């Protein structure tokens, strides 16, 4: 008699357990969809943001007649365009200019990560002379 009661109790608990598990699954709502990405901020300006980096940090060694590419104001854009692989808008992070400026690159000692990031963003946006 005792064991029959116990079995009944166990069965009831078991059924309740399964039922509650199922009910929970049905009630739990889908996780909310992730928020939309933040709006794309304004494009990087070559004249306004990239050339000033070169002018401040690079032209002491990359002037006319010094180490290529020439990075002086008014000449830098064409000089870089003339060097194969310097700027690759198809695979921006493989651009020599970015590799040199990014952490571990030969020129990274002359600039900072924010400078390299700006250059990468500018290349990703099409590397226009804007």
Binding piece for ligand HEC, criterion CB under 6 A, among 5-13, 28-36, 44-52, 101-109: 101-109
User: Is residue 126 part of the contact set for ligand HEC (CB under 6 A)?
Assistant: no
User: Is residue 70 part of the contact set for ligand HEC (CB under 6 A)?
Assistant: no
Binding piece for ligand HEC, criterion CB under 6 A, among 1-9, 25-33, 36-44, 97-105: 97-105
Query: For residues 79 and 71, is the Cβ–Cβ distance under 8 A?
Result: yes
Q: Of 23, 106, 126, 129, which lies in the binding site for ligand HEC, with binding defined by CB under 6 A?
A: 106
Q: What is the footprint of ligand HEC within residues 39-68 (CB under 6 A)?
A: 54, 57-58, 60-62, 67-68
Closest to 107 in 3D by CA, of 68, 49, 52: 68
In the complex, least distance from residue 121 CB atom to ligand HEC, rounded to whole angstroms? 15
Nearer to ligand HEC, 101 or 127 (CB): 101
Q: Which residues contact residue 129 at a Cβ distance below 8 angstroms, ignoring those fewer than 6 apart?
A: 46, 47, 77
From the CB of residue 89, how many other CB atoms can be counted at a distance below 10 Å?
A: 13
Q: Of 101, 102, 120, 127, which lies in the binding site for ligand HEC, with binding defined by CB under 6 A?
A: 101
In the complex, least distance from residue 83 CB atom to ligand HEC, rounded to whole angstroms? 6
Q: Which runs of consecutive H residues, i.e. helices, occur in 1-130?
A: 2-27, 51-57, 76-81, 96-101, 113-124
Q: Which residues contact residue 93 at a Cβ distance below 8 angstroms, ignoring those fewer than 6 apart?
A: 99, 120
């Amino acid at each position: 008699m005792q064991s029959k009661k116990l079995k009944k109790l166990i069965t009831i608990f078991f059924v309740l357990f399964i039922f509650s598990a199922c009910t929970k699954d049905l009630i739990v709502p889908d996780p909310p969809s992730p928020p939309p990405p933040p709006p794309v901020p304004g494009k990087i300006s070559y004249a306004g943001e990239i050339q000033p980096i070169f002018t401040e940090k690079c032209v002491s060694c990359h002037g006319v007649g010094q180490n290529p590419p020439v990075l002086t104001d008014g000449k830098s854009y064409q000089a870089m365009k003339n060097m194969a692989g310097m700027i690759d808008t198809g695979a921006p992070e493989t651009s020599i200019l970015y590799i040199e400026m990014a952490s571990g690159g030969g020129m990274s000692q002359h600039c900072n990560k924010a400078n390299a990031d700006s250059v990468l963003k500018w290349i990703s946006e099409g590397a226009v002379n804007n």
